Structure 1
Amino acid sequence: MRAIRAASAALLGAVALVTVAPLATADDGDHDITSFGFSVTPATIAPGGTVTLTSDGCEVPSVTVTSTVFETVTLSEGRPGTATVDLDAKAGTQYEITFDCKGERGTTKLTIAQDDTTGGNTGHDTGTGTHTGAHKGVKAGYGTAASGADADGLGATELVTGVLLIVGALGAAVVLTRRHAGGRA
């Protein structure tokens, strides 16, 4: 009987892990996970503003950045580049930005600010802009952006908290199973 209870507790824990783990690592759809990092700063800009484009971890000397809202930019040897957003970019619209590293493509969104919320900001980062973070995949080795400013995905704190909750639930299941088994013995 103990073996059945222990197996049931282990199965319940495995089901919880399989159910929760994909949620803990789910992507929100605003960007792609790639083997190289990339970012657009700020993530919200006024028409005519300038964005900074960065990429790291691409093994070729250049990354091509394309969008319908600015001219194509080539980032050479890991150095950042800038792009000027078209003056006719539609306020409130999200434009897709594509980073291409030797055929591997990663995308993120650039939002055009509403006219009444720009506060005169012509795209120069005043420290109030949103940073998309350097999105890294498994090859990066440390998960989300090193700066900790990744507002689009889970940070280390959220991931550790999720793992601790799962481990705690498994531990509680084992303790309860042992107590229950001890009462019948």
Structure 2
Amino acid sequence: MRLKSVAAATVLTAATVLPTALTFALAPSAVANNSGGRLVASVSPTTVAPGGRVGLNVEGCGTRTGTARSSAFGTVNLAPGNLEATNLFGSATVHRNASPGTHTVTFQCDGLGGRTTTVSLHVTPGAARGGLGGSMGQVSPGEIAIGGALVAGALGAGVWYLRRRTEAGT
């Protein structure tokens, strides 16, 4: 009976490792709507260290060009994310000498009216990792491979054990 509970615990642990790892890999993003509710902008991650990169996205411009501007990284030209130009995207590297604190990111659509909206970007004084609050450093490809092999091994062992038990019972 003890082997059955150990195998079940192994399978359950392996089944929870992958979704948990994927949850930590996803960075949070800031989203803002303008007063008309049709222009939606986002910066991802919302917290970054000097020298880090952020993704920029704005939806609802209706134009094929636009910009994102901030004291944290300067001005970035945005490009269409799809053929209909329903969203514009780009990326920026935060200046290495950017001051810690909250910086405003202003998205502007080109064309008539030049609609704008803003979101906040937080620059940390140290090496922050988006989504983990600085609690984890870089993960090397070797570490990812080892983790994947351990998960696959645990799942394989659980399947082997359950099949062996089923065959022995018949």
Name the structure, 1 or 2, with higher relative contact order (CA <8 Å, separation 6+): 1
